[in-house]
Amino acid sequence: MKISLIYPARQMGWWPALGLAYVAAMLEKDGHPVQIVDRNPTLMRGDDVDSYTRRLLGEFKPDMVGITVTTPLLNDAIQALRISKKEIPRAPVVMGGPHVSVLPEDTLHRYPEIDVVVRGEGELTIPEIASGKPLPEILGISYRSNGKTLSNRARPPISNLDDLPFPARHLFDMEFYLRPDNTVIRGIEGIRATHILNSRGCFHKCAFCAGSAVFGRGVRVRSPENIVAEIQHLINDYNIEGLYFAEDVFFTTKERAEALCSAFVETGISKKIIWSGLVRANAAPPELIEMMKDAGCVHVECGFETGSPRLLKLIRKGATVKQGYETARAVHKAGLRLLASTIVGFPTETESEFDATLNFIRDVEPHFVGFNKFVPLPGSQFFNELSSEGKLITDDWEVFHVSGSVPHHEQISYSTMDGPAFFKKFSENATGFIEDLNLAGTIISALETLEEKRYGFNFSPVKLEMFTIEAPDTEKEKYEFCWEKLLTIEKYDESFQAQDVFSKANLSSKVILSLFNNFGVHLMEDFRLRSAASLLHVALKEEEHPLLLANLGVLFFRRREYRQTEEFFASSLARAEHHRKRISRNLANTFLLRGRLKKAKKAYEAIDKDFQCHDGLMGQAVCHILQGDFNHAINCWTRVSEKGNLIVAKQNIKAAQSLITGGGRVIGFKPISQQV
Ligand code: B12
């Protein structure tokens, strides 16, 4: 039997549908010729998706058509269904995927054209349908019979995932999905990457997640050997350079983590590809993160969801805000990229809780943020609760998408904010703060990649410098005593009152200034921005010292609050008699890291003019590198090296030249255009 499998399209996330690829692999194993009709590449290329679908079905003339569907793709799936019915009316249409797995009868009822719905995993069900087995005998399907909609018993989950063939990715246009600008590992540009699943299901019961729609509760894992074999296949056959592990939880247990990571190291996969995986805030101890790093992980995603302790309980996340902070610090200290996945607009969420999530994002300093809006996805506990309480605002599945980019239903808000107010706040942040943050994350990530041994650049000149303030010699002893005391304090948030701790020490204003400034710097180096902010503000009450103001400029840059960044640097420069060049360089570097290259170049030129030095040239060279203009960068570094024996300049010239001779391609870096 010839079978066409259709992947509906929508302007969101360009990944091949592994669900269809697994189903296709099982059908091919039974000898059925299979065609994948993928509407995504055509949509991406701006071609007519429907005539493409019509043409492919017309040429292949399938005996059966299958369509995969997640909730917001249902409309496009129905569009494809109607084309199939018109083009090949004799071919029954089978639908599968998360949406129909949880709403089989609702979907069959709404769309009489659908013949059969496969609920849950389809690998063992579709071959039975294709073999012509009578529908009443097939587990895990819903179908129509004599005008009635019938649902057979559920099919038990597949017990041993190693029995499954690898997904039939060869039926997809993999060059389209592996193209360098397809950011499968968010923020890591310019690599051939795709996704893979090493397990199915999840222990956790987050109320907003529909992950159990298909795989049920509990987790089934593939053996490390089986996963390594698939990765090897992807390296050999598709020359992949990166992988995203897309299952709900990468590491189910510590033992599992050790088994997988050591398998990657022993088989050398850790050296062949870079990868990203999901961790949970309550299950990501530093030693685990270090192990992931040694096994080739460069990027960690974590579902922090919200900065509100109340909402974390309400959504049954099973993790605390404190654990979120600790996980973020562990990822930063391991030198990995952090993607913070967040959701705003939860039922009962207040505006200040929305703000708490924004503040949490600022505090944990992620490289990238997934900023999603709450949607009661079919298959989630919230969907069940809201529909049973008649509080579901709409069942127009078209608007059930979580990401901010696609059209939004302005009236929809389950939070205490009304629809328009929530929509305004959501999109302002999505297109403002979050976009800025992700751009800076992409640039910082690119510079970190280029500084890796394999490329050998040295971008220390564009790193943000922090400044310590000497304590008066006469009070050095008191200073050290208080420093030790500060080290013992666990928490320094807003409630921290300096005088409470040091009331008896009657410290002079000079000592409080240097102590709290320097300890603030120590906390910033330890990725504890929130605590650092408290201490630097204690110091600020003593004196608006130019170096302290410069450190606050760095702090606000790291919180991606750019207006305050520029204000603090400006007032620092306005007061500074010494270190003016270093403070000016910091300000110029923040423009570079924000992707404001034109502004950065101007600032660097001013530094060289004002201070008769070549620091500015060093910065300009990095701007050219970020734009992929290696020759121009080499010119800058050459001019610097002509002015003196500067190791950094020579090192970068060598690195840039070997990059050019090596074809100039950097895995994980895509030149950025000169914004402003
Ligand atoms: C990887 C992934 C993506 C990828 C790829 C999507 C894809 N369709 O493959 C990308 C990034 C593109 C993506 C985007 C989105 N995703 Co997503 N995604 C996932 C994730 C993490 C894994 C999906 C996967 O590969 N599963 C493994 C395969 C083997 O399972 P499967 O796809 O379900 O297929 C099996 C069965 O469903 C069935 N089956 C599926 N299709 C068919 C077709 C036929 C004919 C048959 C017989 C059987 C069958 O058999 C397959 C094999 O067992 C899941 C989480 C999860 N737990 O599933 C979320 C998940 C599927 N995504 C979800 C959502 C909401 C989205 C978005 C809408 C988010 C948004 N931006 O708004 C978009 C939708 C765009 C799209 N293309 O689907 C929800 C879906 C909930 C729902 N009610 O639909 C999930 C469950 C996440 C969640 N936690 O709630 N996603």
Could you tell me which of 124, 161, 110, 131 has the C-alpha nearest to residue 31?
131
Atom 35 of ligand 1: nearest residue by CA position: 19
Q: 23: CA distance to ligand 1 center in Å?
A: 13
**Best of 14, 20, 26, 70 to mutate for ligand 1, by most ligand atoms within 8 A of CB?**
70
Any ligand 1 atom below 6 A from CB of 616? no
CATH number (1.10.10, 3.40.50, 1.25.40, 1.20.58) of 468-578 reads: 1.25.40
Residues of the chain with CATH 3.40.50.280: 3-147
* Three-class secondary structure of residue 17 per DSSP: coil
What are the pLDDT digits (tens) for 98-153?
A: 999 999 999 999 999 999 999 999 999 999 999 999 999 999 999 999 889 999 99
pLDDT tens figures, 604-644: 999 999 998 888 999 999 999 998 889 999 999 998 887 76
CA 227 – CA 264 distance, rounded (Å): 10
**Encoded amino acid at 305, one letter:** E
- C-alpha to C-alpha distance for 14 and 41, rounded to whole angstroms: 8
- Of residues 482 and 406, more confidently modeled: 482
**Structure confidence by residue, pLDDT tens digits, 298-355:** 999 999 999 999 999 999 999 999 999 999 999 999 999 999 999 999 999 999 999 9
- What pLDDT does residue 642 have? 79
Please work out whether the CB of residue 184 comes within 6 Å of at least one atom of ligand 1: no
Query: Does residue 318 contact residue 395 with C-beta atoms inside 8 Å?
Result: no
Q: How far is CA 67 from CA 94, 158, 284, 295, 619, in A?
A: 6, 21, 37, 37, 52
Q: Which residue has the higher pLDDT, 520 or 489?
A: 520
Q: In angstroms, what is the span from residue 557 Cα to ligand 1's centroid?
A: 36
Ligand 1 neighbour 38 (Cβ under 6 A): no
Whole-number Å distance, alpha carbon 281 to ligand 1 midpoint, is 23
For 92-141, give the DSSP string: -EEEESHHHHHSHHHHHHH-TT--EEE-S--TTTHHHHHTT--GGG-TTE
Q: Is the CB of 376 under 6 A from ligand 1?
A: no
pLDDT (0 to 100) of residue 411: 66
Atom of ligand 1 nearest to the CA of 40: 77
Confidence label for 517 from pLDDT (cuts 50, 70 and 90): very high
Domain covering 178-431, topology? TIM Barrel (3.20.20)
Is the pLDDT assigned to residue 504 strictly greater than 80? no
Q: Answer yes or no: is the C-beta of 319 below 6 A from any ligand 1 atom.
A: no
pLDDT at 325: 94
pLDDT greater than 60 at residue 250: yes
Average pLDDT, the chain: 91
Q: State what percent of residues in the chain have pLDDT above 90.
A: 73
Burial class for 505, CB neighbours closer than 10 Å (0-12, 13-18, 19+): middle
**CA angle, corner 124, sides to 121 and 130, nearest 5?**
115
Task: Work out the end-to-end distance of the chain between its first and last CA atoms, rounded to an integer number of angstroms.
Answer: 57
Per-residue pLDDT, 538: 86
Residue 449 is predicted with a pLDDT of 87
- C-alpha 456/C-alpha 157 separation (Å) is 49
Distances in Å between the Cα of 660 and the Cα atoms of 8, 191, 653, 655, 663 are: 41, 18, 11, 9, 5
Strand order from edge to edge, sheet including 242-245: 193-196, 242-245, 274-279, 297-305, 337-344, 368-373
CA–CA distance, 72 with 336 (Å, rounded to integer): 33
Closest atom of ligand 1 relative to the 401 alpha carbon: 72
Taking Cα atoms as reference points, which of 346, 376, 349, 371 lies closest to residue 358?
371
Instruction: Report the pLDDT value the prediction gives residue 645, as an integer from 0 to 100.
Output: 58
User: Which carries the bigger pLDDT value, residue 595 or residue 454?
Assistant: 595
pLDDT at 455: 86
Q: Does 295 score more than 60 pLDDT? A: yes
Protein residue closest via CA to atom 86 of ligand 1: 211
pLDDT of 502 above 90: no
Confidence of residue 500 (pLDDT cuts 50, 70, 90): low
The protein residue with its alpha carbon nearest to ligand 1, atom 85, reads: 211
Q: Ligand 1: which atom is nearest the Cα of residue 213?
A: 86
Indicate which residue's Cα is closest to atom 80 of ligand 1: 70
Cα(222)–Cα(197) distance, integer angstroms: 9
Residue nearest to atom 50 of ligand 1 (CA): 122
97 Cα: distance to centroid of ligand 1 (angstroms): 7
Of the ranges 131-135, 245-249, 508-512, 591-595, which is most confident? Answer: 131-135
Rounded mean pLDDT, 182-195:
86
The rounded percent of the chain whose pLDDT value lies above 70 is 95
Residue bearing the CA closest to ligand 1, atom 2: 246
The answer, yes or no, to whether any atom of ligand 1 lies below 6 A from the CB of 124, is no
- pLDDT band per the 50, 70, 90 thresholds, residue 50: very high
Could you give the CA distance from residue 368 to residue 20 in angstroms, rounded to a whole number?
29
Runs of H (alpha helix) within 339-432: 351-364, 381-388, 419-431
For ligand 1, whether the C-beta of 209 sits within 6 Å is: yes
What is the residue with the minimal CA distance to atom 72 of ligand 1?
A: 401
375: Cβ below 6 Å to ligand 1?
A: no
Please check the confidence at residue 655 and state whether its pLDDT lies above 60. yes
Task: Check pocket membership of 402 for ligand 1, CB cut-off 6 A.
Answer: yes
Q: Is the CB of 248 under 6 A from ligand 1?
A: yes
Task: Please classify residue 562 by burial: count the beta carbons closer than 10 Å to its beta carbon, then call 0-12 exposed, 13-18 middle and 19+ buried.
Answer: middle
Tell me the pLDDT band of 667, cut-offs 50, 70 and 90: confident
Is 278 touching ligand 1 by the criterion CB < 6 Å? Answer: no
111 lines ligand 1 (CB under 6 A): no
Residue nearest to atom 67 of ligand 1 (CA): 401
100 vs 484, higher pLDDT: 100
* Ligand 1: nearest atom to the Cα of 377: 83
Which atom of ligand 1 is the closest one to the Cα of 19? Answer: 34
Residue 123 Cβ inside 6 Å of ligand 1? The answer reads: yes
What letter represents residue 240's amino acid?
I
Whether the CB of 246 sits within 6 Å of ligand 1? yes
Q: Ligand 1 in contact with 128 (CB < 6 A)?
A: no
**Ligand 1 centroid, distance to 510 Cα (angstroms):** 59
User: Please, where in the chain does CATH 3.20.20.70 lie?
Assistant: 178-431
Q: Which of 18-22, 71-75, 177-181 has the highest mean pLDDT?
A: 18-22
Residue owning tokens 């969101």: 12
Q: What is the 3-state secondary structure (H, E, C) of 469-517?
A: CCCCHHHHHHHHHHHHHHHHCCCCCCCCCHHHHHHHHCCCHHHHHHHHH
Residue 298: its pLDDT value, please?
93
How many C-alpha atoms does 230 have within 13 Å on its Cβ side? 22
Q: pLDDT per residue over 389-422, tens digit each?
A: 999 988 888 888 876 544 456 667 899 999 999 9
- Our measurement of the distance from residue 571's CA atom to the centroid of its chain's CA atoms, rounded to an integer in Å, reads 35
Residues of the chain with CATH 1.25.40: 468-578
519: pLDDT confidence band, cut at 50, 70 and 90?
A: very high
Q: Which CATH class is domain 3-147?
A: alpha beta
